[in-house]
Amino acid sequence: MPTLNDIRSTFLTYFAKQGHEVVDSSPLVPRNDPTLMFTNAGMVQFKNLFTGVEHRDYKRAATAQKCVRAGGKHNDLDNVGYTARHHTFFEMLGNFSFGDYFKDDAIRFAWELITKEYGINRDKLLVTVYHTDDEAAEIWKKVAGFSDDRIIRIPTNDNFWMMGATGPCGPCTEIFYDHGEQHWGGPPGGPDEDGDRFVEIWNLVFMQYEQFEDGSRRELAAQSIDTGMGIERVAALLQGTNDNYATDLMRSLIMASAEATGTDPDGDGRVHHRVIADHLRSTSFLIADGVMPANDGRGYVLRRIMRRAMRHAHLLGARDPLMHQLVPALVRQMGAAYPELGRAQALIQETLQLEETRFKQTLDRGLKLLDEELEGLPEDAALPGGAAFKLYDTYGFPLDLTQDALREKGRLVDTDGFDAAMAEQKAKARAAWAGSGEAADATIWYDIAEQHGVTDFLGYDTETAEGQI
């Protein structure tokens, strides 16, 4: 059975043989795009090559790219613990053509790799294409011998990719694996597509057009390819499971968490261990790439993930800080492929430990307050926004942590009420400031917050959050 590390090498070796330059993963903090919170796909480091702004001495590349999807357009934070196939941190395997090969070769390479190199059972595979992309459908028939019913035509943006409002864009084709009817879920494009039975493993994007401001498109002179395959999903199916968390790498992290807490990895604490294993990876890799916990921006997203993991550790009964104890297990698994992890190990451990020690001081009391609030409410009532705000403001509970806690009980938070309480506090702070003689600059922060909304992923109010830690 191939390990996750084997699967990565097979991919890179295969594409090197097909004339691709093997390029290192870029950091999780994108160097070339200040508008993007974290690197969330393999193509991010190549954006300027696709737009033609930059040229390199290779026209084909392959990478294993570190990705985080925990904020912004792609946010899988809420999926963790609930689906078998989503992580906040994952590795995306990708091959890229910069004005070199196009649809024909991209599909042929993908098919050869998954059916010959990985040996995936071709009868379990099916694909989607953009509904008007007859060309891709024809290539699939030719290359894979698929009948029409295994080439699903999708009319939505799920199968049409755009870099932004203008610039390169085009149809995509996605490869799905059917894990069998013992799992819930239906084929892509149908009503039950969100299940874990039909799992998307690989997305091939055909950068075919350029989109202009007036909405018109023309064929690109240099058509390009951008693909992304989730390594954990491939590991799952090659290891005979539909569950990413049952694969060698994730399982070893779950076992580390079970051992450190003296709990059963598959018992009542099952979900907690999964969340902890996932969040251990995203937080450690973010710290290794220079992000530190903070009250706004990227650092706040990191803090939110950390605190969320810490609540799950607490629920497992961990009385001492847990997360930092698990870092060696992660370094053992991933340190060879990502040496930055080993280099930053001491920093990661110290940061996690310090953060967990501090948060523990208010976590207990916050959870008690949460329980008390719920006791006074009817069974299915949402938690009032004021209570959620108090948890945030006094106990350092990011809103999504409270939501995560309530979701286990099938309950929601009144987010409008939360926003209103936040706005009210800001108004008060602003009023208090009015007479201080401060320059108008002091209010800029609030204006930004208002434009974006207080619960926007860019972070909460620096001032109000500062006091808690």
User: For binding to ligand ATP (CB under 6 A), which residues are involved?
Assistant: 69, 76, 85-87, 90, 92, 200-203, 228-230, 232-233
Interaction between residue 159 and Mg ion (CB under 5 A): no
> How far apart are CB 287 and ligand ATP at their closest, in Å?
20
> How far apart are CB 447 and ligand ATP at their closest, in Å?
33
Whether residue 244 contacts residue 235, with contact meaning beta carbons closer than 8 Å, is answered with: yes
Interaction between residue 227 and Mg ion (CB under 5 A): no
Helix, strand or coil, per DSSP, at residue 379: coil
Choice from 203, 242, 325, 349 touching Mg ion (CB under 5 A):
203
Question: Which of ligand ATP, Mg ion, none sits in contact with 229, Cβ below 5 to 8 A by type?
Answer: ligand ATP
Nearer to ligand ATP, 110 or 139 (CB): 110
Q: Max alpha carbon distance in the chain (Å)?
A: 75
Interaction between residue 40 and Mg ion (CB under 5 A): no
Rounded CA-CA distance 98/223 in Å is 7
H or E stretch covering 68: strand 60-68
Helix, strand or coil, per DSSP, at residue 437: coil
H or E stretch covering 346: helix 345-375
In terms of DSSP bridges, do strands 60-68 and 21-22 run parallel, antiparallel, or are they unpaired?
Answer: parallel
> How far apart are CB 10 and ligand ATP at their closest, in Å?
16
Helix, strand or coil, per DSSP, at residue 240: coil
- In this structure, the number of other CB atoms found within 10 A of the CB of residue 72 comes to 16
Phi-psi region of 178 (alpha: psi -120 to 50; beta: other; left: phi over 0): beta
> How far apart are CB 89 and ligand ATP at their closest, in Å?
8
Nearer to ligand ATP, 11 or 395 (CB): 11
Nearer to Mg ion, 67 or 137 (CB): 67
Piece of 90-98, 198-206, 315-323, 458-466 that binds Mg ion (CB under 5 A):
198-206
* Number of residue whose CB is nearest ligand ATP: 230
Per-residue binder mask for Mg ion (CB under 5 A), 247-266, x = binder: --------------------
Whether residue 236 contacts residue 200, with contact meaning beta carbons closer than 8 Å, is answered with: no
Rounded CA-CA distance 342/169 in Å is 38
Query: Which token pair is 132?
Result: 């008007």
For 255, how many CA atoms within 13 A lie in the half-sphere containing its CB?
11
Question: Which of Mg ion, ligand ATP, none sits in contact with 27, Cβ below 5 to 8 A by type?
Answer: none
Interaction between residue 63 and Mg ion (CB under 5 A): no
Per-residue binder mask for Mg ion (CB under 5 A), 101-140, x = binder: ----------------------------------------
- The alpha carbons of the chain give a radius of gyration, in whole angstroms, of 23
Interaction between residue 173 and Mg ion (CB under 5 A): no
Piece of 197-205, 214-222, 299-307, 391-399 that binds Mg ion (CB under 5 A):
197-205
Burial letters 164-197, b for 16+ CB under 10 A, else e: eeebbbbbbbbbbbbbeeeeebebbbeeebebbb
Nearer to Mg ion, 15 or 90 (CB): 90
Question: Which of ligand ATP, Mg ion, none sits in contact with 179, Cβ below 5 to 8 A by type?
Answer: none
Residues that bind Mg ion (CB under 5 A): 200, 203
